[in-house]
A = this chain, B = another copy of it.
Amino acid sequence: MKQLVLARRASQIKVELTQRVRKPYKEVIDVSWGDPHKAGVKPLSFVRQVIAACLYPQLLNSDRLPVDVRQRAQSLLKGCDGGSVGSYTATRGISEIVHRVSEFITRRDGGAPSYPENIFISPGSQWALRNILNVLVNSEASHRTGVLTPMPCYSVSLMSIRGLGAVTVPYNLREEQGWELQVEELHRALESAKGVCDPVALYVINPGNPAGYVQSRKSIQEVIQFVSEKRLFLLADEVYQDCVHGENSEFVSYKRVLAEMGPPLSDTVELASFHSASKGFLGECGLRGGYVELVNLDPAVKKYIYKLFSTDACAPVLGQFALDLMMKPPQPGDPSYPLYSVETQHIRTALVHNVKRVLEVVNNLPGFCCQPVKGAFVFPRLHLPPKAIQKAKEMGMQPDAFYCIRLLEEASVIVSPGCDYGQKEGTHHIRFHIMTPEDTMEEVLRRLSSFHTQFMKDFS
């Protein structure tokens, strides 16, 4: 809900700017969402060309588009009934694309097999998560259903879980250890649920949101052991898997680790893992394409899930196409490869640059302390002066929300407050997205630094 206050104020400010109310900055910069294009990242040409050609096939007759773009568009259109992106598709998605997704997973996971019949394409991964949660939540049981959730946690997932009538059971990520997930903490959290609710699932976000940590293989193994022992369903939200950077960090999927652990675990642990075209290099949030892969689910449950998915017809066809293009981008030798390669390298370079600069700048500001980051977000801790905390209280606001509103008012920068995500009692944070062009991040840092220095002075 804090987001809403911020969003409202942001649109007011945009209006004020056009009405020339005096503001120190001409333009509002919004890095509060996990939304690359909103933050100024450019769409990939290959993706847009192929999808535009599918929408308006007259473009296929011109040679202004590279030949591989035209071939790819033609092959995608073959999967559409009536040759039109305007037709409904099968419930789990266009068959060719579902196969492509399963090939991608198999390749990514070093050969661990993935089966098309376990994959459902959806209008964004969040929607798939809600549908799977729907199956797990038993609203008629005497005890309410519980889901173990990280703290801090992406707020929309918390809303989805609670919106279905389930209880979130928070387990703390250890900030001091770079937001590590520690298995003893899972035991503690599970224990804490006794008498409160009936925990049926564990939700993990890896790479993390809001805190951009990346789990190690060993940590994933421990989590899998834990859910197996406690008979919990594992929900692995892996939408940021392509945003990993930095030395000694590599994304490994839960699916892969589970497969590599072998039987009996690999045959029994129930896993749903989520991925999306919204993040990574594509950043196509607005097209709405994601998927869930289900592992070790009972066929009867899968049938029920099929039914749930079918009550919404199908995922948007162009979101499905975006997924397809993400699963199989241009390859060396293809006419589109050089441009694709330059564009993605540009995004990668910016990400690496941004994270380095953010840590340098933020950790040099008094009162800020940011853990090393390996993912798409930073979530620095903010040690606010008592006077600022007092002022926020007087205004009926959380201290970090107060900070964010002031930052917006005075520096026209939108970040989101830690209170939106759940955080350890008495701690404060801000979150922002670092997948932006380099100059955008430099501007954010400039504004943040001068705002912050003034803020600390004002409340010292």
Contact residues of A with B, CB < 8 Å? 7, 30, 33, 35-41, 43, 48-49, 51-53, 55-56, 59, 80-82, 84-90, 123-124, 126-127, 130, 139-140, 156, 159-160, 163, 165, 278, 282-288, 307-308, 310-319
A312 proximity list for chain B (CB < 8 A): 123-124, 126-127, 130
Closest to A315 in B: B288
Is A159 a contact of B311 with CB atoms below 8 Å?
A: yes
B316 near A126: Cβ-Cβ < 8 Å: no
Candidates B38, B126, B313; contact of A285 at CB < 8 Å: B313
- Given A40-B82, A81-B35, verify A88-B286 contact (CB < 8 Å): yes
Q: Are the CB atoms of A286 and B55 closer together than 8 Å?
A: no
Known: A37-B86, A124-B312, A312-B124. A286 touches B140 (CB 8 A): no
Chain B residue nearest to A304 (CB atoms) is B163
Inter-subunit contact A87/B285 (CB<8 Å): yes
* Residue of A85, A90, A127, A278 ringed by the most chain B CB atoms within 10 A: A85
Interchain CB contact (< 8 A) of A130 among B126, B160, B311? B311
Give Cα distance in the complex from A50 to B89, angstroms: 23
CB proximity of A43 to chain B, nearest CB, Å:
5
Contact (Cβ within 8 A) B35 A286: no
Q: Chain B contacts of A287 at CB under 8 A? A: 85-86, 316-318
Q: A35-B81, A123-B288 are in contact. Are A283 and B86 (CB under 8 A)?
A: yes
Q: Give A264 Cβ to nearest chain B Cβ, in Å.
A: 33
Query: Which residues of the partner chain B approach A43 to less than 8 Å between Cβ atoms?
Result: 84, 86
Question: What distance in Å separates the Cβ of A411 from its nearest Cβ neighbour in chain B?
Answer: 19
A317 (CB) vs chain B CBs: closest residue: B286
Chain B residues with CB below 8 A from A165, complex form? 139
Interchain CB contact under 8 A, B87 and A38:
yes
In the complex, which residues of chain B have a beta carbon less than 8 angstroms from the beta carbon of A90? Answer: 7
Can you give 26 A-B contacts (C-beta < 8 A)?
Answer: A33-B88, A35-B82, A38-B81, A38-B84, A38-B87, A43-B84, A48-B56, A51-B56, A52-B59, A59-B59, A85-B287, A86-B282, A86-B284, A86-B287, A87-B286, A124-B313, A126-B311, A130-B311, A139-B165, A159-B310, A163-B308, A286-B314, A287-B317, A316-B316, A316-B318, A316-B319
Considering residues A39, A89, A278, A288, which has the most beta carbons from chain B within 10 angstroms of its beta carbon? Answer: A288
Q: A123-B316, A288-B316, A317-B287 are in contact. Are A307 and B84 (CB under 8 A)?
A: no
Look across to chain B and name the residue whose beta carbon is closest to the beta carbon of A318.
Answer: B318
